[in-house]
Amino acid sequence: MSTSPHTPAFSDPAHAAPPARERVLIFDTTLRDGEQAPGCSMTRAQKLRMARVLEELGVDIIEAGFPAASEVDAAAVAAVAGAMRRARIGALARCQEGDIVTAARALEAAAQARIHLFLATSPIHREHKLHMSKAQVLDTAVAAVRRACALCGDVEFSAEDALRTEPEFLIEVFTAVIAAGARTINVPDTVGYTTPAEIAALFARLRREVVGIERAVLSTHCHDDLGMGVANSLAAIEAGARQVECTLNGIGERAGNAALEEVVMALRTRADRYALDTGIDSTRLYAASRALSGTIGLEVARNKAIVGDNAFAHEAGIHQHGMLVNRTTYEIMRPEDVGFPHTRLVLGRHSGRHALRERISTLGLGIDDARFETVFTAFKTLAESKREVLDADVEALVLGTAVHARGPWMLAALHVGTYVGGASIASLHLRHVDGREARETATGSGPVHAVTAALVRASGLALEIIELRVRSIGLGAGAQGEAVLRVQHDAQELRGRGTSTDIVEAAALAMLEVVNRIERTQPRALANPTHPHDGNSHHDDEARHVSVA
């Protein structure tokens, strides 16, 4: 061995580079198992769009669908296979000739392809679904793997309901399919029945007793029926699994699958325990989660780990104080590590003085200690009647204006028309406390989109709506509609809320609250003002920098 004159021929442990860590492959089945769940189906275009998101995220294997299920699904798999170049594309197939050939045909354009075979092995499935003996199951699995290997160089075999299969039979099946050519062996907890200790013990036994296991990658696929999908996946990884099958937001059959973002961040955050890497760019997790939510229309729960709205939000006074002193007191991850906008200290009935004082300072409002105590008392009273005290409320408390006062711009009139099969159109009239007026009209993909677009046009501000949520407060004819939105303006995030028996008006009031906050802190004329009674309406169709999501 030769060395340079400037390089010592010995290794200094204190300065040695850290050893390369083992890699866990991320097999994402959002487009197959996830998409099978009620309410989660996707069109071919939607699957293609999500596949691009997954590839950019760094997923190793994208299971694009089940081609034999329908011609539509086969076409979607083919479209994904032809478009992706970095990720390996998988297609599911039963251990049947027709399924295998259909899967191979759908994967023809893939730069890297995998046929994923599955066959149930548990006594419940053998008796009640397959009506097959152990010997028949074994022969069918081996024949299918050989056939798939003749058509594709990468074959995975899954023993459906593996965790309720006799371990001795599972070992026999896996030994046989590895000998037949399978190079990934998946051990699914199909019905979410197992526990972390049980699955760890099984994986340890498989590693000891399956002949040829060193030639294959052990994979885990856990469902969440008992709420242990992620815990079971991590236990399997600790016991030797080096592929984990998961989905974005944990979508999937029944209670869903192990959530990709939770598995990835558990491995990263607890690297001291697992010492394993993935190829996932964690800073894209939040965006990927929201891309899926927007595609299938299934909202992410606020308390969802890693990507839920509350994942990096704090309301309790003790927690907020700790966060202001040192964020590690109550956060084990940085929000930017998962692409989350930022930590949010939510002002509510549980908040204390430290958080309120910090928010007042952030808003650029000067206040002395005596005045602060008065404002804090008023804040606690207000917080008892509102789930969240917004910046506009704090501003009103500090400045001594009525908390529910609107202005300087008021909504004088609003008209919205919706046409079946076409765009919606909104016309609005704003009136300023100084007598100025503004009128604007805009179209949108729906009435809420149209009215927020009209307000953005009228304001002439560079506003980007990050999120808009609407919900009903109460039931019956007198129920109120509430709209809450988050808007980006000059690198600052602003929040607005509006309530009305008309949900479209509520959205308009929420947007107007944001416009008014900007107007109060940065006085300027609206883009399209008119003088009272002149009857003119100005519509400047030149492109302004406006983005309405």
User: What's the domain range around 143?
Assistant: 22-296
Query: Would residue 325 count as lying in a domain?
Result: yes
Based on the fold, state whether residues 247 and 318 are members of the same structural domain: no
Based on the fold, state whether residues 362 and 426 are members of the same structural domain: no
Can you give the C-alpha Rg of the chain in angstroms?
A: 29
Segment 57-112, tens digit of pLDDT: 999 999 999 999 999 999 999 999 999 999 999 999 999 999 999 999 999 999 99
Domain CATH code at residue 455: 3.30.160.270
| Total Cβ atoms within 10 A of residue 83 | 17
In the predicted model, residues of the chain with pLDDT beneath 50 are 1-17, 402-405, 531-549
Using an 8 Å Cβ cutoff, are 444 and 453 in contact?
yes
Q: Which residues contact 19 (CB under 8 A, 6 or more apart)?
A: none
Count Cβ atoms within 10 A of the Cβ of residue 8 and give its class: 0-12 exposed, 13-18 middle, 19 or more buried: exposed
As for how many domains the chain has, the answer is 3
Of 419, 427, 378, 430, the closest CA to residue 399 belongs to: 378
**How far apart are the C-alpha atoms of 50 and 80, rounded to whole Å?**
9
- The pLDDT, as a whole number, for residue 123 is 98
Strand partners, 444: 424
**Domain closes at, from 296, 327, 357:** 296
Is the pTM higher than 0.85? The answer reads no
Query: Would residue 306 count as lying in a domain?
Result: no
Based on the fold, state whether residues 413 and 368 are members of the same structural domain: no
Residue-wise DSSP of 357-421: HHHHHHTT----HHHHHHHHHHHHHHHTT-S---HHHHHHHHHT--TT---SEEEEEEEEE--TT
**How far apart are the C-alpha atoms of 480 and 470, rounded to whole Å?**
11
**How far apart are the C-alpha atoms of 320 and 351, rounded to whole Å?**
7
Query: Would residue 541 count as lying in a domain?
Result: no
Residue owning tokens 């049947």: 96
**How far apart are the C-alpha atoms of 35 and 206, rounded to whole Å?**
30
Residue owning tokens 């004819």: 477
Query: Would residue 547 count as lying in a domain?
Result: no
Based on the fold, state whether residues 392 and 340 are members of the same structural domain: yes
Based on the fold, state whether residues 392 and 452 are members of the same structural domain: no
- The pLDDT, as a whole number, for residue 390 is 73
Based on the fold, state whether residues 389 and 524 are members of the same structural domain: no
- The pLDDT, as a whole number, for residue 227 is 97
**Domain closes at, from 376, 399, 422:** 399
Domain CATH code at residue 37: 3.20.20.70
Of 306, 211, 296, the closest CA to residue 267 belongs to: 306
Based on the fold, state whether residues 214 and 92 are members of the same structural domain: yes
Using the CB atoms, write b or e for 422-441: b if 16+ within 10 Å. Answer: eebbbbbbbbbeeebbbbbb
> β-pairing, 424-432 with 409-417?
antiparallel
DSSP assignment letter at 433 = T
Query: Would residue 360 count as lying in a domain?
Result: yes
Query: Within a 13 Å sphere around the CA of 508, how many CA atoms are in the beta-carbon half?
Result: 29
Query: Would residue 540 count as lying in a domain?
Result: no
Residue-wise DSSP of 271-333: HHHH-EE----GGGHHHHHHHHHHHHT-PPPTT-TTTSTTTTEE-SHHHHHHHHH-GGGT-SS
**Domain closes at, from 375, 399, 423:** 399
**How far apart are the C-alpha atoms of 88 and 288, rounded to whole Å?**
18
Based on the fold, state whether residues 244 and 292 are members of the same structural domain: yes
Count Cβ atoms within 10 A of the Cβ of residue 205 and give its class: 0-12 exposed, 13-18 middle, 19 or more buried: middle
Segment 363-404, tens digit of pLDDT: 777 788 888 888 888 888 888 877 777 777 787 788 765 444
Amino acid letter at 406? Answer: R
Query: Would residue 329 count as lying in a domain?
Result: yes
With the C-alpha atoms ordered 455, 458, 463, 464, is the resulting torsion angle positive or negative? positive
Cα-Cα end-to-end distance for the chain: 61
Based on the fold, state whether residues 273 and 168 are members of the same structural domain: yes
Q: Which residues contact 381 (CB under 8 A, 6 or more apart)?
A: none
Query: Would residue 206 count as lying in a domain?
Result: yes
- The pLDDT, as a whole number, for residue 316 is 80
Based on the fold, state whether residues 361 and 460 are members of the same structural domain: no
Based on the fold, state whether residues 220 and 99 are members of the same structural domain: yes
Based on the fold, state whether residues 253 and 174 are members of the same structural domain: yes
Of 357, 251, 260, 255, the closest CA to residue 28 belongs to: 260
Chain centroid, CA 401 distance in Å: 39
